[in-house]
Homo-oligomer: A and B are copies of this chain.
Amino acid sequence: MSDLKQRILEDGKVFPNNVLKVDSFLNHQIDPIVIGNIADELLAHFGDKKITKVLTIEASGIAPAITIAAKLGVPMLFAKKQKPSTLQNDETYGTIVHSYTKNTDSHVVISKQYLNQEDRVLIVDDFLANGEAAMGLINIAEQAHATIVGVGICIEKSFQDGRQRIVDHGVDIYSVVRIASLENETLTFAEGH
């Protein structure tokens, strides 16, 4: 059993509406040992793909992404939910990411300067549910004509359609933990995960 799965069993809390609270170790308070083990497992899958850049979105993707980037010795790049004052519109690649939990649309951007057709990009995020953030990052990487090596996820809600959207798009996806169901506030892992 992965370290992350063990930790979810010990410290995760299931709330109504399919919410899994893991803020004691993954996305508010962050345990660097858990993050280090996640990075190792994602790199066991993607590590030989000649990655030149790790791409994520603020804020909870940053900790796993920088940890993976440090192990690879390549830069990490995070998409921003607010355009910095130092960037003009024509200097950015942007896309809309809808959040179902917050019911908000974010216009996320990256600077064109830091992603191009020479790049081989690993996309990383803490959660995958409907795939809005991951598909947004795929869209941005495609605007830059970068090669997408794959999508690496800490916790996947396999009962939502994010994984299928990514697979249908022809992009490799690997999730450290896959959750089959959170119905009736009961956590069931996907078989073999």
Contact = CB atoms under 8 A, between A and B. Distances in A.
Interface of A: 13, 15, 19, 21, 23-25, 28-33, 35-36, 58-59, 62-63, 66-67, 69-70, 73-78, 80, 82, 84-86, 101-102, 110-111, 113-114
A99 to B, nearest CB: 10
Nearest to A115: B29
7 contacts: A28-B110, A28-B114, A33-B73, A58-B59, A59-B78, A59-B80, A66-B66
A21 B114 CA distance: 14
- Total copies of this chain within the assembly: 2
Nearest to A17: B85
Contacts of A114: 23-24, 28-29
B70 A19 contact: no
Contacts of A33: 73
A11 B80 CA distance: 20
Given A19-B85, A32-B69, A59-B78, 11 more contacts: A23-B86, A23-B114, A28-B80, A28-B111, A30-B76, A31-B75, A32-B66, A59-B62, A62-B63, A63-B63, A67-B70
B111 A23 contact: yes
Contacts of A110: 28
A102 B85 contact: yes
Nearest to A57: B59
A109 to B, nearest CB: 9
Given A36-B70, A62-B62, A19 B75 contact: no
Nearest to A77: B29
Contacts of A66: 30, 32, 35, 62-63, 66-67
Nearest to A80: B28
Nearest to A87: B23
Nearest to A64: B66
Given A63-B62, A63-B66, A32 B85 contact: no
